[in-house]
Amino acid sequence: MKSGLSFLVAARQCEITELEQLALTSELVGAIGRLIHALQKERGLSNVFLSSHGTRFGEQRQQQTAECTQVEQSVREQFDALDTDSSQVRNGARLFSRIAFVLHALDALPALRERVASQALSPTESTAAFVRLISGLLVVVFEAADSATDPEISRALVAMFNFMQGKEFAGQERAFGAASFASGHSDSAQQQWLHLIDLQERCFQVFADFSDATVSSAWSASQLTDTLADLERLRRIGCTRASGRLDPNLSQVWFDCCTRRIDSMKTLEDLLSTNLRVLCDRKIAQARTELRDQQMILDELSRQANAASPDASAHYGPQLERSILGMVQEQAQRLQAMGDELETVRSALNERKVVERAKGLLMATRKLSEDDAYKMLRQTAMSQNRRLLDVAESVLAMSAYL
């Protein structure tokens, strides 16, 4: 019969398999981050191109389109590397359905670019199309974070997801502001501008809560630059100009300032991606070392069981018995600690799930856009001095009455 140690070894082998799957997922997350960064820049250039009726950023947009196509190919290759035939992939149904949506949106990119080139879209329509694609890519990252079973890796993925989400809102602000400046007026855009700023701050706060000391220090240092001071000055011009009139020449200044900021964010995102890969490699190496130690003891048990002495299989020896007992206790304690920490980390992901469900309910019952549904939840939370999560849960609880 199999001993308890045999199952300990099997458990460790399962853990290594899960960690190796997370390592592959981490590579995918890094590739998605590079594609999102390229698409964010193309979105901003397209907005200025459309708002200026084709007089600005035409050549730059074409160059960026070519770069996006190259990075897109890398992401498609990462998708192809996933084991779609395995039933062991965590969150497989959700992850693969998200990827299917993304691939459909990527297939539609050439047609979108043709419409932008022919000025057949408004800046708002172009932005919405890019936002849908980038949001789909971010949801794939979210599913990756939700699938992590190791708390350290889960924390790293939660930090990275929220940073990428905050960077996306920064990219939306770049595109939004570029279009506003290029058009020469802001009209009713000021509230939307402030909303995008607030969304960034929320994401970066969650990112800071889950980041390690090295990343937090790098983020703090990046906030003390002239670029951020220039950004705040341009924000005041765009958000507070009473007449609503803006200088179109500031469109280039705004775009360049935001690009410097977002490129700086990409450097930090690359650090997050590198740290994640190093963490996965370290965890795998550690698990393999522990598996080797357990396997050596299991081999010793087999040797004793096959020995000539009839009592060999019944008595392993005090030292060996203590080793087995110690490993069983250590494994139980470690799994308990991992479970407790993982529950804490996943609370951030669960909040997003609840808010997304409440948002979807409001969109369906009140015929609201996604942005307006989120604004309603947030304004209710602020006016009632409640957490956004509590308001979302209340909306879901009253679904039958909406």
* Strand-pair partners of 185: 245
DSSP codes, 180-211: HHHHTB-GGGHHHHHHHHHHHHHHHHHHHHH-
**Cα–Cα distance, 196 to 193 (Å, whole number):** 5
**Cα–Cα distance, 49 to 65 (Å, whole number):** 13
> Cβ(214)–Cβ(172) under 8 Å?
no
Q: Dihedral angle at the C-alpha atoms of 83, 88, 94, 96, nearest 10 degrees?
A: 10
**Cα–Cα distance, 86 to 47 (Å, whole number):** 42
Q: What is the DSSP letter of 186?
A: -
**Cα–Cα distance, 128 to 353 (Å, whole number):** 22
For residue 14, what are its two tokens? 């399962």
> Cβ(220)–Cβ(264) under 8 Å?
no
Question: How far from 18 is each of 54, 91, 126, 238, CA to CA, in Å?
Answer: 50, 12, 40, 48
- Tokens 């890796």 map to which residue? 153
What pLDDT shows up at residue 312? 47
Burial class (CB in 10 A: 0-12, 13-18, 19+), 311: exposed
Task: Express each pLDDT in 254-306 by its tens digit.
Answer: 999 999 999 999 999 999 999 999 998 998 888 888 878 777 776 766 676 56
**Cα–Cα distance, 43 to 37 (Å, whole number):** 10
| Alpha-carbon torsion (361, 362, 363, 366), positive or negative | positive
Residues in CB range of 3: below 8 A, 6 or more apart: 298, 301
Tell me the pTM: 0.76
Of the candidates 86, 130, 99, 96, the one whose C-alpha atom is nearest the C-alpha of residue 32 is: 99
**Cα–Cα distance, 284 to 15 (Å, whole number):** 9
> Cβ(200)–Cβ(208) under 8 Å?
no
What pLDDT shows up at residue 106? 95
What pLDDT shows up at residue 383? 77
For residue 152, what are its two tokens? 């350290």
**Cα–Cα distance, 165 to 169 (Å, whole number):** 6
Q: For the chain, which ranges sit under pLDDT 50?
A: 308, 310, 312-316
What pLDDT shows up at residue 339? 63
Could you give the domains of the chain?
Answer: 4-283 (no CATH), 317-401 (1.10.10.10)
What pLDDT shows up at residue 314? 47
CA angle 159, 215, 351 (to 5 degrees): 15
Question: How far from 23 is each of 14, 28, 75, 97, CA to CA, in Å?
Answer: 14, 9, 15, 21
Task: Express each pLDDT in 325-344 by its tens digit.
Answer: 565 566 666 666 666 666 66
For residue 275, what are its two tokens? 């740290």
CB atoms inside a 10 Å sphere around CB 400: 5
**Cα–Cα distance, 133 to 101 (Å, whole number):** 9
**Cα–Cα distance, 113 to 111 (Å, whole number):** 5
Distance of CA 19 to the CA centre of its chain: 18
Phi then psi for 245, rounded to 5 degrees? -90, 135
What pLDDT shows up at residue 290? 80
